[in-house]
Amino acid sequence: MLDREECTLFSGAANGAEAYFGATAERYGIDEVNFTFDGHNDARSRGIRVLTHEELKRGDVSLVYIGKMMNREYSPAPLMKRVLQGIWHQVNEGQEIYVIGKILDDGHVKGGTGWGAEFAKLCNKPLYVFDQDKDAWFQWEEMRFKALTSPTITHPHFTGTGTRFLQANGKAAIEALFARSFG
């Protein structure tokens, strides 16, 4: 079992899954770093790390590229671009990635959260997704999502992200993940 005092959750402080990951980490005495940017509507204030313009640029990616990769279109609005840049920092810092959302039939995760999952795949980082519609955890393995009984956090630097539309089963999945991992 990991020493809580050596652990850090990397997230984004947004409403929904990110805020719940953060609140749960706080209850367990785990540090959190919430990457954000000027103008973002943060649901948490603990561990806020406001990214500079230069830092945001480090997480820049072509919206056309990720749109083609993920079979969808992303809004070219500056806010969307900054959100995706912030997600890049979350995944870049975490060594295991935990996502609450929905796995689509094409193997991608729905919404902006999908970029975080896709970036984790590209970086070959362990990726775990709790699909709220299927009420189950899945792990990205051998180029596809495989059903998983219950993951456990095994690295002290981990990322928790996901949908703004967190459901009761998503909350329960986060609670159980922390209970299994930190007792």
Question: What pLDDT does residue 48 have?
Answer: 98
Residue 49 has a CB neighbour count (10 Å cut-off) of 17
CATH number of 4-182: 3.40.50.450
List of residues 6+ apart from 2 with CB closer than 8 A = 153, 154, 155, 156, 181, 182
CA distance 170 to 53: 33
Amino acid, res. 60 = D
Domain coordinates of the chain in residue numbers?
4-182
Residue 21 has a CB neighbour count (10 Å cut-off) of 31
List of residues 6+ apart from 76 with CB closer than 8 A = 63
Residue 38 DSSP one-character state:
T
Question: What pLDDT does residue 74 have?
Answer: 87
Question: What pLDDT does residue 123 have?
Answer: 96
CA distance 140 to 3: 26
Question: What pLDDT does residue 143 have?
Answer: 94
CA distance 142 to 181: 24
The beta strand positions in 75-126, using DSSP E, are 96-101
Q: State the pTM of this model.
A: 0.96
Question: What pLDDT does residue 109 have?
Answer: 97
Which of the residues in the chain have pLDDT under 70?
A: none
